[in-house]
Structure 1
Amino acid sequence: MKMKPWRFLLLLGIFVILSVELLGLMRRNFQSKRRPGWQIIRPPHEVSALVLQNQILWSGGKDGVVGIDIQKREIVKTITCDPPVNFVQALVLDRQNWLWIAHNKGLSYYDGQRCQAYQSDDSRFREPINTLYLDRQGQLWIGTWQGAAVKEKAGWRWLGMADGLPDLMINLIAQDSQGGMWFGSSVAPRGGLNYCLKKTCQKFSTSNGLPHNNITSLWIKDSNKVWVGTGFFDRGGAAQLEANNSGWVVRKTLTAANGLAGAKVRSIYQDRQGVLWLGSENDGLARLAGENWLTLTEADGLANQEVKVMLEDQAGNFWIGTKDGVNYIPAEQLLKLGDK
């Protein structure tokens, strides 16, 4: 028997009302699980870089660079560059307090008044810049698809694989307390991580202990320990490297099987309490305090399951850049995480 149109519309209306009520109930139940004090700031949405300048947290990502007041926890500045910048990969402040911006069209800088492209006859400065780093001498480093370069007094000095790079594609640069330079690449199956000190270099890959050759993140805090994040899609993990008399060796590895939120490690941070945070590509954030693991997801208030960058401010509050927004966790709530 054919249903009359009015009955079909009535049933459809009832279904829509019940669906809305059910979604509302699910949303309220979902929000009720969120941890107190956590806050999400949107925009910005996709966030790949964070850097703190006094009370302003600069956030860079797909839509450019914005400044977040860490007291008000809201956007108070949007940087307008000439030409415009998008898909920001890295931010760093130099000793003049200029903000350098690495993006898909090259290198730009903001001096507090205006933002403009770095001028150079070298076409490599108008191509994607993957990473930025300011070393202990105040020299600016860049990582590109055609090698790495450092801005010295005499000008830019470019490095290639003959100078110790693991590959021409460099997406991570860091320096340790001994002055040694770390270079990471994410062009698996090659990729890998190289450490160079006084013209002597060591290479790390899956052949000598890394979980994966795609290097995604690096954290250097102790003088003789380094954490490195690796992975690609559903493979990867983290490794701790330790220095001894003969160089650096892989001492420990972490995978999803023994505590990580997901196989691919997207970001690493160690806070002032010594707690290790490991962001995943799709599965949230893992927190390792001593031997105790805790996984945090959107159900806890995480803005997105992909955690791309983390930062702790002067007061111990935690800021997390994700694929869809910035998380703020107040210091007092951060300390309570270990109690739950």
Structure 2
Amino acid sequence: MKDPSKTRRHVTSAVQIVAGAALIIGLIIVLQFVTALIQEQNVPEGWSIIRPPGEVSALVIDGDIVWTGGKDGLIPVNRTSGIQLPLPRGSPPFSHVRSLAIDRQGWLWVAHDGGLVKYRNETWVVVSPGTGIPFTGAQAVLEDQEGAIWVGGEQVLATYGNDTWQTVEPPGGWHIPSVDTLYQDREGVFWMGSVAPNTGGLYRFDAHSWTLFSIDDGLPHNTIKEIAETPDGALWIGTGFSTRGGALRIQNGTWTRFYPDDGLAGNSTRSIYKDTAGRMWFASEYDGVALYYEDRWGTLTTRDGLAGNEVKAIVEDQDGTWWLGTSGGLNRVERDSLFPGCNC
């Protein structure tokens, strides 16, 4: 026969363990809330941290709306006040939003893990999943110079034009594990990147032929996280996984690699941007953002006002205000604000 007192002791011990775990979790949540509140209240003058969103993977500006996309889905923010806005009525559910684009007809395209959606004038259209659509989840979306929409996803690259979807496939034997980054340069050449650390790489497609570049050709890393172009025609590639990687500049046939010894904040390069003042932004995966201006380098981290040390997206609006999508929320930085800790 079981000892009732022994059973009660076991139940009491179990209750104490559960209560202790709940207390620890509660303390962690409170600590995170207080830390975030202190961070938001102690940013430099001209800076602000906007939460939600708690994480931002993609940014695009449409008039007075800053559309943010990330783990929290799609969140619009008023550009002038920084106040979060409600989604327009009828919005479908969103999973992790990976990419945003606005086409020449005013449609906002939203690529997320659960599909592809477009929005304009209070009208939402769920493009994918859908009958005849060659993909489900979408990782990247782009409007090309001819007005066609390109979408990248897991093992798929597709285009939409003349009311028809078509897949674009490399030559026989080639395999793109995922198209996570899409860009068309000013010469009309398409560049695609995959974040797969072992089987990724940089793909070039000029509408006639394909070229695959890897670390054997000079890439700092096979994981491609950013493809951007500056007004001088230089193509910039952000690469990296974990603590490895770097930035690459391709200009006039010359490849130049950049690492922390050259001024980067960290090896793994998450995003690259050149603002209207000529300042170059190089965001790392873990170590903040490095800025280069007039032969000077500086670094910004959460200690200097960043909402998170991983800056995933950077845009500048018509007033010269910078919007930084980070792993810890959204930053709004006024044009004339000083950059503490950075002589840029």
Name the TM-score class by shorter chain.
Answer: 0.7 to 0.9
1:57-72 pair list within 5 angstroms: 57-72=66-81
Query: What amino acid sits opposite 2:287 in the alignment?
Result: D
Aligned length, in residue pairs: 310
SS at match of 2:171: helix
**Residue 145 (structure 1) aligned to one of 141, 149, 154:** 154
Conservation of the 8 A alpha-carbon contact between 1:148 and 1:168:
no
Are 2:165 and 1:156 equivalent residues in the alignment?
A: yes
Query: What amino acid sits opposite 1:311 in the alignment?
Result: V
**Residue 49 (structure 1) aligned to one of 16, 33, 58:** 58
Match of 1:302 in 2: 306
**Residue 85 (structure 2) aligned to one of 61, 76, 84:** 76
Are 2:331 and 1:327 equivalent residues in the alignment?
A: yes
Query: What amino acid sits opposite 1:293 in the alignment?
Result: W
Are 2:322 and 1:318 equivalent residues in the alignment?
A: yes
Conservation of the 8 A alpha-carbon contact between 1:256 and 1:263:
yes
Query: What amino acid sits opposite 2:282 in the alignment?
Result: L
Conservation of the 8 A alpha-carbon contact between 2:300 and 2:341:
no
Conservation of the 8 A alpha-carbon contact between 1:177 and 1:223:
no
Conservation of the 8 A alpha-carbon contact between 1:219 and 1:270:
no
**Residue 259 (structure 2) aligned to one of 255, 275, 280:** 255
Per-residue Cα deviation, 1:88-122 (whole angstroms, up to 9, x for no partner):
00111122211111111111111231334115313
Change (3 A) 1:224 1:205: same
Match of 1:196 in 2: 205
Match of 1:122 in 2: 132
- Give the CA deviation at 1:80: 5.8
- Give the CA deviation at 1:325: 1.0
Change (3 A) 1:129 1:198: closer
Per-residue Cα deviation, 1:109-150 (whole angstroms, up to 9, x for no partner):
11231334115313643x221101111112111001122111
- Give the CA deviation at 1:222: 3.1
In the aligned structure 1, how far is the partner of 2:230 from the partner of 2:104? 21
1:89-104 pair list within 5 angstroms: 89-104=98-113
Change (3 A) 1:81 1:281: farther
In the aligned structure 1, how far is the partner of 2:293 from the partner of 2:173? 35
Per-residue Cα deviation, 1:207-228 (whole angstroms, up to 9, x for no partner):
1111000000011123631000
With structure 2 as the length reference, what TM-score do the two structures score?
0.83
Query: What amino acid sits opposite 1:141 in the alignment?
Result: W
Are 2:243 and 1:239 equivalent residues in the alignment?
A: no
Change (3 A) 1:84 1:209: same
**Structure 2, unpaired ranges of 5+:** 1-33
In the aligned structure 2, how far is the partner of 1:82 from the partner of 1:35? 36
SS at match of 1:78: coil
SS at match of 2:264: coil
Conservation of the 8 A alpha-carbon contact between 2:201 and 2:222:
yes
Deviates more, 1:230-239 or 1:261-270: 261-270
Match of 1:228 in 2: 237
Query: What amino acid sits opposite 2:220 in the alignment?
Result: P
In the aligned structure 2, how far is the partner of 1:166 from the partner of 1:239? 23
Change (3 A) 1:81 1:160: farther
In the aligned structure 1, how far is the partner of 2:176 from the partner of 2:294? 35
With structure 1 as the length reference, what TM-score do the two structures score?
0.83
Conservation of the 8 A alpha-carbon contact between 1:216 and 1:230:
yes
Conservation of the 8 A alpha-carbon contact between 1:164 and 1:201:
no
Q: CA RMSD in A?
A: 2.7
